[in-house]
Chains A and B, each alone.
Chain A
Amino acid sequence: MTTTEAPPAAPKPHHTPVKRTFAFLRNTWRGLTSMRTALVLLFLLALAALPGALLPQRKLNAPKVDEYISAHGWWGTLLDQLEFYDVYSSIWFSAIYLLLMVSLVGCLTPRSFEYVKAMRAKPVLTPRNLARMPHYRPGRGAATADVATVIAAAHQQLSGWRRIEREEDGGVRTISAERGFLRETGNLVFHFSMLGLIVFFALGKLFGYEGQVIVQADGSSFCNAGIYNYDSFNAGLRVDGTDLNPFCVKVNDFTARYTASGQPDYYHSNIEYQSGPDLETGTWRPYGLEVNSPLRTAGDRVYLLGHGYSPKFTVTFPDGSQRTQSTQWRTVDPATMLAEGATKFDQPGITDEVQRRTRQLAITGLFAPTAFLHGTVLTSSAPEAKDPAVAVDVLRGDLGLDSGRGQSVFEVDQSRVDDGRLKKVARQNLEVGQEIKLDDGTKIRFDGVGQWVSLQVSHDPTQGFVLGFAIAMFVGLGASLLVKRRRLWVRVKPGTEDDPSTVIEVAGLARTDQAGYGEEFHRVSERLLGGQKG
């Protein structure tokens, strides 16, 4: 650590470019590793992190970012170009923390050497005039004790201290004692652990991934076999999705309990999973998945992130064939679990492509777990499925399911409605068991409701290391803030003919600016002096 700036090198005419470059590098290095720079960088880091709390971030909420950009015109776009919606992976944020890490290394290396030297060094000489020290107590030894006895007793009293005994003229002996090296140890442990934490945090980001998937809570299963099994997948730069840790999860049910006011109180999903050798033997192991207790298996974690409803519809086509589907609808109001979505049907047994494209069906609209009607407008009055109902439009025509364009499972392609390829053929509210008859004789029955859960699979190979460094950091911080470095001296002079008892002086100095040494000094000196009396 350099607390003062390096003295400016006096320009000497015979300096070669090499030397000048060297001097420049050295000065840059000194500047970068000075305490003042560290301080400025810390400030910049805090400042740079701030936009991430104030502006929407792509990683957390991408749609909100798009909304924000379109609401703010050129200004929103400019912020985007400056990476203000990806603050924590932006060039400028990375630059600041990389500089801070360099500064940290530059600061810690010389300090570690100094630390080792200081550990080996002997405690400083006893000052000539102890009475000038901030803590000072004179006293007399017992008449019977000579200098050697007093010193030996003092050594015993100071057993936890690093100390050295010295002799002065006239049979005077002194002890210099020091304590509190743990402070510097703690400080170094703290800073090094922080370095380790940052490095392993970054490695985790490179080698980790997170994937989200919706699974019907009716015994459907999901396997961590590849990116395409996920609805969304975020991976570190070093993950290509080819060899994910293999495991499978089967979701058997989902239970939510709510308080009388409709606030959720309890979520539980009974799942089964298989990983490792179980995959070969086909063994499923049960697990109760809850919000605060993820499944940990095969080095990955599986979380219960959310849940929702899948209304179930049965379509009976004019030729008598039937199809039943229960597709997830997305929750639009978390308080009442009102949901919207689109359940899409393809009539079976039709081989003619053109005809098929005129006969596809989509049931879209709202689902309410506890129906509440304002006239014919459906809303939900509670999140539990006490009285489920749907308010749906039935669309017929070409859904474009095989148009090659991916489409959302929650809605139909609006452009097809606009240009007439999809036509609305019915609109109706349905309770469980009720049905709609279409003009061509097709019947659509609302059969009830199932549930889905959304799961997240997380993989972070370094988080254990991060935790370890965090704990070390905390311990180091504690030592570095709570331990005080302090010195203590004892000087024992032989008595005179008239007064044979020895003269003892005890003095102390705290080397760090926390107060509180006084109490300890008082106690120790009491023992040192008191022990001699009597």
Chain B
Amino acid sequence: MPINETLSRYSDWLYTTAAAIYVVALMMTLIEQGFGAKGRLAMERAQRRSRELVGAGGPPVEEAPAAPREVGRPERIGRMGASLLVLGALLQLSAIVLRGLAVHRAPWGNMYEYGMAVTFITVVTWLVVMGKFPVRHLTGFLLLPVVILMFVNGTMLYTIAAPVQPALQSYWLVIHVSAAIIGSGVFLVPGVASVLYLFRAAHDKDNTKFARFAPKLPAADVLDRIAYRTTIFAFPVFTFGVLCGAVWAESAWGRFWGWDPKETVAFIAWVVYAAYLHSRATAGWRGARAAAINIVGFAAIVFNLFFVNLVTAGLHSYAGVG
């Protein structure tokens, strides 16, 4: 079937608009983080809540309702930023759907489409996290890598809408790649949370460090919990994605595992996240070291997302830059 160029053009516009909206949301939520009383407030609330969570392992229903104190201008801006985030996510979703309609297949057959879907999953994950933890004012920190990735993706990796190679014409494209997308997309969230954790933990140890920035972050164990919970969601999904990739490779490339660069880096990321899970059960490794391992995992995921396709010539690179 021919490519529907109109739809694909609309998809491109929506993608660009979503990215622009994320930039605005980023700035708005940074204002809240920077100037809001909310920062302090959230911090207190988070501490209270984390005490509850540690003790009770409690669900959100047990949370004491936040004291409805007077809402300042930065908070209002932050709230608007969060609404814009939702709007941006909807536009990005439309961009993905239109792309799929334009090419009559799952819209993740090349790097550009893949990057578009991964960043979407990251944003959606963050929306879910925001629903469970009082972290709206941190949205800017999350959006920073998202916007950078979207920019690189939309400029350097942009690929015109086209059908895919015969090797990619398989239902495994849907299964394997969507698992990889969800896994990688979610993994970006604990990466950001872990970076913030390191700031916060450094400040808790020595409160002259990051004295202006860190106190506005949620308590360290809230950040740790966000990182852990998102990681244990993403890890099995990612594992599933890698396993499906092996099953697909067995029928497409003649072997289920061949240390192709993309396979290798996925393996590395997997091992790093396994190390992260272990570190949380190892005396002396919880906390900052675990967070550092999670950040290494984040690096591996981003590396796998772009670098492997751009620089090395493996079998996966035909899903590449077009």
Contact = CB atoms under 8 A, between A and B. Distances in A.
A515 B162 contact: no
A45 B271 contact: yes
A437 interface: no
Interface string A261-290: 101111100000000000000000000001
A4 B282 CA distance: 8
A36 B275 CA distance: 10
B203 to A, nearest CB: 23
B9 interface: no
Contacts of A38: 278
A259 B322 CA distance: 15
Contacts of A50: 264, 268
Interface string B248-290: 0011111111111100110110011011001111111100000
Given A292-B170, A515-B225, A519-B59, A49 B250 contact: no
A60 interface: yes
A259 B166 CA distance: 12
Given A88-B259, A515-B58, A259 B162 contact: yes
B272 A46 contact: yes
Interface in A285-325: 290-294, 301, 303, 305
A116 interface: no
Size class of A's contact patch?
35 or more
B57 A516 contact: yes
B174 to A, nearest CB: 13
B241 to A, nearest CB: 11
Contacts of A207: none
Contacts of B239: 473-474, 477
Nearest to B274: A42
A463 interface: yes
Contact of B256 (A3, A293, A466): A466
Contacts of A36: 282, 284-285
Contact of A474 (B53, B236, B257, B260): B236
Interface stretch (A51-59, A141-149, A372-380, A406-414): A51-59
B165 interface: yes
A522 interface: yes
A513 B55 CA distance: 10
B254 A46 contact: no
Contacts of A134: 55-57
A458 B254 contact: yes
A366 interface: no
B106 interface: no
Interface in B168-189: 169-170, 172
B283 A4 contact: yes
A51 to B, nearest CB: 9
Contact of B254 (A301, A516, A519): A301
Contacts of B284: 36
B236 A481 contact: yes
Given A3-B283, A515-B53, A515-B59, A46 B268 contact: yes
A483 to B, nearest CB: 12
B321 interface: no
B47 to A, nearest CB: 16
Contacts of A470: 243, 246
Contacts of B170: 292
Nearest to B289: A39
B302 interface: no
B256 A52 contact: no
Interface string A123-142: 00000000000110000000
A35 interface: yes
A363 B279 CA distance: 65
B229 interface: yes
B243 A474 contact: yes
Contact of A35 (B163, B251, B282, B308): B282
Which of A60, A467, A473 has the most CB atoms of chain B within a 10 A radius of its CB? Answer: A60
A303 B166 contact: no
Contact of A517 (B57, B232, B280): B57
Contacts of A267: 166
B77 to A, nearest CB: 31
Contacts of A516: 57, 59
Given A291-B252, A458-B254, A265 B246 contact: no
Interface string A470-499: 110110011001100000000000000000
Nearest to A290: B166
Contacts of B310: none
B151 interface: no
A473 B246 CA distance: 14
Interface in A519-534: 519, 522
Interface string B202-246: 000000000000000000000001001100100110011001001
A1 B265 CA distance: 29
A510 to B, nearest CB: 4
A210 interface: yes
A290 B254 CA distance: 12
B281 A35 contact: yes
Contact of A265 (B163, B267, B314): B163
A472 B236 CA distance: 13
Interface string A20-41: 0000000000000001101100
Nearest to A481: B232
A3 B259 CA distance: 33
B5 interface: no
A467 B247 contact: yes
B6 interface: no
Contact of B314 (A60, A292, A460): A60
Contact of A49 (B264, B275, B279): B264
Nearest to A201: B257
A292 B169 contact: yes
Contacts of A518: 56-59, 61-62
Contacts of B163: 259, 263, 265
Contacts of B56: 134-135, 515, 518
B265 A42 contact: no
Contacts of A458: 254-255
Nearest to B283: A3
A92 to B, nearest CB: 15
Which of B166, B236, B246, B313 has the most CB atoms of chain A within a 10 A radius of its CB? Answer: B166
A360 interface: no
B252 A292 contact: yes
Which of A87, A292, A293 has the most CB atoms of chain B within a 10 A radius of its CB? Answer: A292
A43 interface: yes
Nearest to B308: A53
Nearest to B229: A514
A3 B279 CA distance: 10
A294 B251 contact: yes
29 contacts: A42-B271, A42-B272, A42-B275, A42-B278, A53-B261, A53-B265, A135-B57, A263-B165, A265-B163, A290-B166, A291-B167, A292-B170, A292-B252, A303-B253, A305-B254, A456-B254, A458-B254, A460-B255, A470-B243, A471-B243, A473-B239, A474-B236, A513-B57, A513-B280, A514-B57, A515-B59, A516-B59, A518-B57, A522-B59
Interface of A: 1, 3-4, 35-36, 38-39, 42-43, 45-46, 49-50, 52-54, 57, 59-61, 87-88, 134-135, 201, 210, 259, 261, 263-267, 290-294, 301, 303, 305, 456, 458, 460, 463, 466-467, 470-471, 473-474, 477-478, 481-482, 510, 513-519, 522
Given A53-B265, A513-B57, 6 more contacts: A36-B284, A39-B279, A59-B259, A263-B163, A294-B251, A474-B243
